[in-house]
Chains A and B, each alone.
Chain A
Amino acid sequence: MTQALLKLDNLGVRLGHGKGAIRPVDGVSLEIHKGETYSLLGESGCGKSMTALSILRLLPQPAGQITQGHVYLDGEDLTLLPESDMRRIRGRRISMIFQEPMTSLNPVLTVGDQIGEVLQQHHAMKGRAAQDRVLELLDAVGIPDTKRRYREYPHQLSGGMKQRVMISIALAGEPDLLIADEPTTALDVTIQAQVLELLQKLQQDTGMAILLITHDLGIVAGMADRVAVMYAGQLVEEASRDRFFGSASHPYSRKLFESLPDVHKREHALDTIPGTVPALNRDFDGCRFEDRCDVAWDYCRSHVPGWNSSADGQHARCHRLDESIPAPRSAVTAKQVETISSSHESRGDHLLRVSDLKVHFPIHKGVFKRIAGYVYAVDGVSLAIPQGCTQALVGESGCGKTTVGKAILQLLKPTDGSVQFEDIELTKLKGEALRKKRSDFQFIFQDPFSSMNPRMMVGDIVEEGMIAQGIGKTRQQRRARVDELFEQVGLSPEQTQRYPHEFSGGQRQRICIARTLAVDPRLVICDEPTSALDVSVQAQILNLLKELQNTLGLSYLFITHNLSVVSYLADRVAVMYLGRIVEEGPVADVLERPLHPYTEALLSAVPVIDTASKREIIRLEGDIPSPATPPAGCHFHPRCPRAMDACQDSYPPETASGDHTVRCFLHQ
């Protein structure tokens, strides 16, 4: 085998000093060859990004230090190079693109200047030649109208455009290795598909290697040649893509697959990984995954597993692969699959009926704040949610789905339309009357970190809603209820006397759910409740939501961009584009036989794990238009691959077939 382009040899990183010092990377060895895509997979906090940063020696200073091991680039040890020589490596030999394209570009420099800076640094290119090269690079990453973009500032670009610019900056030095740290996590699926395709194309053209860091198994399946799974600072498994997706050998990898929601698992609870990632400031005597593993036995607790290999260059850090260690076969028991019913018969009576809801935000301009126009965030949305059912609302960011949720709850004043909860018109309620009614419908927020007041104890947070709604007469009664709720969401009542920062993301989301349940709601609007969480934690929350629905008969409006969650959880689904619902119907119908071209494209853009069924990705050109100036006619026609002349003239009316409705001229 040829010499590896990049070789990490037992790399170790320490953050902080003294007792509290953690080792986010603890003995990582890997090799990346020329022209290959090597994917580093893992949940948050497992050390993926730290590994990437230590390759470039960009660890947070002064806390971060490489304590052991070596990084070889073409045989040259980067850990020994002086800082001035490292500058020659960064951007030239190894480039990096970051997760958040919004913050990784300098807002006061033009796009051209920022790319030109790299050219000047590494190729001593200036003036005319540099400008030509920048235009060439912008062209290569698929940015239209390069001459104009050259002089624009980052805020004039959309998220996808910014990530393209970031990629072109990374490419400007013509690197041998591109490190992409969650390059598409902040982007929408259709944009994500564009960026991933671009990366693949660039790799074919330039022959560079890519180290792709991600938590998304779907992206790995579509992009990687080889896959490594990281857990608690160590690699736990490494294999070729086909081998990994065919037969993952580490229990953790297998658990990751099993905790992914999808349509086939609808009838039972998702497999979860109990517990949390261990703290990395201590020494380990045994396997790091031991306490969360369902096939572990005594031996795992006392012996550190070696890097055992099986066929085809597949390695895993697990005792079960070492044939010299007799593993008790009995440990592998047939899993008890908990069944949870997911089919909810609509009982005819609708709990919530939204008709022609509109939310327009005025745009103020000038000294006197004259209204210059409107942002049509929600522009005529109609929905009906039956008792005890889950209605999903999907769409890309900026399509107005969160605004719909907030407008239903009257957190935002709707411009027009009606929201009927049972037979009460919510838009007409005011002040005290609305305040009293609020216990019936509740909201679960996306980010469990910012949805709790950091200066209140979680018990008080849960109790607050009860006080406001006058539930529970005495403090003792309320406290007893809080304890009960904590148990219901899988936390212990002793934890009520703690502050939010003492909990992990999943636990916080449980507390938020407990807080919601405290006022006995009948409708809960969940706004991407799992998008800030890891897959295994997401599975726990989804299980909890499903269980609560079955025991309490709750109705959910589930706002998300994650279609696999929809297929697992929802009864009906509505697809939103630019403030309007373009398609609505039973979940199986819509996801299996989408009618609207946008739904088709959205579905095809979601990365899937099933590598056997290679689908054609329907590529959508460009970005979502601004809701302040929606295109004439059908909002989707500028990006629609099947647009007709009629689409430019008027917005298509609703066409129903059974209980599946669509707004598209194709289905008139």
Chain B
Amino acid sequence: MIKPVILWTDMLIFLLTAVVVMFIFYARSKPHIRAPWQRVFTGKVASASVVVLLAFVLVGLLDSLHFRLPLASNGDNDEIHYAGEVMSALDTLVGPLRTQVEKTYSAPFAAHLFARETIELADGSQIRDYPRLLYGARSLGDAVDGKTRDILLRSLLAFAEMLLASALILLLIAYWLARRHERPVRVLIQDILQDKLTIPWRTVLFMLSLLLLLLLLAINLAGAYHVLGTDKVGQDVFYLTLKSIRTGLVIGTLTTLIMLPFAIFMGIVAGYARGWIDDVVQYIYTTLNSIPGVLLIAAAILMLQVFIANHSDSFETTVERADIRLLFLCIILGITSWTGLCRLLRGESLKLREAEYIQAAVSFGVAHRKIITRHILPNVMHVVLITVVLDFSGLVLAEAVLSYVGVGVDPTMNSWGNMINGARLEMAREPVVWWSLLAAFLFMFILVLAANLFSDAVRDAFDPRTRDR
């Protein structure tokens, strides 16, 4: 039996997922919420970025299902001991990537280590050469010359599989749409391929195919090669970047989740109540805003480190310890970043409280609590949404910067910031070890770009100025 481990961040992530799913079902029944979202998904760029974001989210969610494997019992008692190492669903899926650890650096697709070493031959003589990798290009044995051919063949195979899978997906989508619109499947396949539907399914399909191709390439190649090389201690860089996705997503989403209640409550109350309440809230966020954020974060993280060191027995595994630090980072980032949204919401509700429909509600004797929840909150939600989506990419980048400075996530935790921090020292080396940096950069760039494009589309769709009256 495996033992599930539920980390704090896991809990919050699944809570957030549940909230999002619930919102989707709620929004489907409300035409005024559904309409702008439909506008979001009619854009090609937005639809493509949603596909990319969903792929990231999927990896992140898989990586959030944590458990511990049982150790082989020695038979004399029934008590099961569990391994100290916490695994995730992603780890089991990628299988060999996690365990195939080399000695040290190797370049992407290499068959040998990156640095020369003294090798003892079978006859006892010693030579200085690049040692053969333990796992990289293992299937080729010593026939390293056939590497290019092998890579090409595997890529071709992946490509063929991709075509097959894409066709299958096209059929599935067409079948589903055909049932919804009650039209023949053949017509809908044509419509999709000619991009005649409101949702740009052809773009979605194209992005899906591209992602599938990457996935299949990874499946076909990553087992046999280190596609993005290995790091200083020989871990596969591709595996590390995949593991970093969860960290990035947690920082980007949980931070907002934590700050939202503060920002919404304080902002609306300040704007609606005015008077001394407004003064207090304004005073709080002005003060908070004038403290340098990085210093505050550094202080908080150092305090937490001391706390963890003093209470080391309350954490069973290193993963749990790193997780608490991650959560704390989210909280402290949230505390320093809610002020912007709060200020926006305060302004918005100051404006709204003078709106005639609020005055009308007051003149009907509607209670303040109801006015806030029924009239003000729904009318500021578009501001909240736009801010949340825009903040996401900023927070992902902030994590990288903070980890680089050394006040970010735990050094044992996989994150893009830590990868970049680790690669920093090797940048001066000749020849340069470039792959860690590139891999982290590439993944972060794609995630942030997709998030930014998506937030642009969201902003356009919810902007009252572009909204049809």
Contacts and interface: CB of A to CB of B under 8 A. Distances in A.
Determine if chain A interacts with chain B. Answer: yes
A279 B365 CA distance: 39
Contact of B355 (A439, A450, A468, A499): A450
Contact of B374 (A436, A445, A456): A456
Contact of B363 (A409, A452, A454, A499): A409
Given A499-B31, A501-B469, A450 B361 contact: no
Nearest to B360: A451
B149 interface: no
Nearest to B381: A455
A499 B365 contact: no
B379 A454 contact: yes
Contacts of A501: 469
A68 to B, nearest CB: 26
A439 B365 contact: yes
Given A455-B378, A456-B374, A450 B356 contact: yes
A443 B360 contact: yes
B362 interface: yes
Contact of B360 (A436, A439, A469, A515): A515
Contact of B367 (A443, A468, A519): A468
B356 A447 contact: yes
Nearest to A455: B378
Contacts of B378: 453, 455-456
A447 B364 CA distance: 18
Contacts of A446: 356
B447 to A, nearest CB: 32
A450 B360 CA distance: 10
A547 interface: no
Interface residues of B, number: 20
Interface string A419-457: 000000000000000111111001101110011111110
A439 B365 CA distance: 8
Contact of A435 (B359, B367, B374): B367
Given A453-B379, A455-B32, A455-B378, A468 B364 contact: yes
Interface in B331-385: 355-357, 359-367, 370, 374-375, 378-379
Residue in A406, A438, A453 whose Cβ sees the most chain B Cβ within 10 Å: A453
Contacts of B363: 409, 411, 438, 442-443
A294 interface: no
Contact of A411 (B357, B362, B379, B469): B362
Contacts, number: 67
A464 interface: yes
A249 B378 CA distance: 51
Residue in B32, B361, B365, B374 whose Cβ sees the most chain A Cβ within 10 Å: B365
Interface in A471-524: 499, 501, 512, 515, 519
B32 A499 contact: yes
B357 A453 contact: yes
A61 to B, nearest CB: 15
Contact of A465 (B32, B364, B375): B364
Given A456-B374, A499-B31, A499-B32, A436 B365 contact: yes
B402 to A, nearest CB: 37
B366 A468 contact: yes
B451 to A, nearest CB: 27
B469 A469 contact: no
Contacts of B364: 438-439, 442, 464-465, 468-469, 519
Contacts of A437: 365
Nearest to B370: A468
A456 B377 CA distance: 12
Contacts of A499: 31-32
A455 B360 contact: no
Given A411-B359, A450-B355, A501-B469, A455 B379 contact: yes
A126 B31 CA distance: 57
Nearest to A409: B363
Contacts of B356: 445-447, 450-451
B222 to A, nearest CB: 48
Interface in A454-470: 454-456, 464-465, 468-469
Contact of B365 (A445, A469, A512): A469
A452 B366 CA distance: 14
Contacts of A464: 361, 364, 366, 374
Contact of A445 (B31, B360, B367): B360
A438 B363 CA distance: 6
Contacts of A445: 356, 359-360
B367 A452 contact: no
Nearest to A437: B365
Nearest to A469: B365
Contacts of B374: 453, 456, 464
Contacts of A453: 357, 374-375, 378-379
Interface in A391-408: 406
B365 A438 contact: yes
Interface string B31-62: 11000000000000000000000000000000
Contacts of B355: 450
Contacts of A468: 361, 364-367, 370
A469 B375 CA distance: 17
Contacts of A454: 32, 379
A442 B362 CA distance: 10
Interface in A177-225: none
Interface in B1-56: 31-32
Contacts of A512: 360
A465 B366 CA distance: 7
Contacts of A443: 359-360, 363
Contacts of A451: 356-357, 359-360
Interface in B312-329: none
A176 to B, nearest CB: 36
B105 to A, nearest CB: 56
A406 B363 CA distance: 9
Contacts of B469: 501
Contacts of A465: 364-366
A661 to B, nearest CB: 30
9 contacts: A445-B359, A450-B355, A451-B360, A452-B357, A452-B360, A465-B364, A468-B365, A499-B32, A519-B364
Closest 7 CB pairs of A and B: A465-B364, A435-B365, A451-B356, A438-B365, A445-B356, A468-B366, A455-B378
Interface of A: 406, 409, 411, 434-439, 442-443, 445-447, 450-456, 464-465, 468-469, 499, 501, 512, 515, 519
Given A451-B357, A468-B366, 13 more contacts: A411-B359, A411-B362, A411-B363, A437-B365, A438-B363, A438-B365, A442-B364, A443-B359, A443-B360, A452-B360, A464-B361, A469-B365, A499-B32
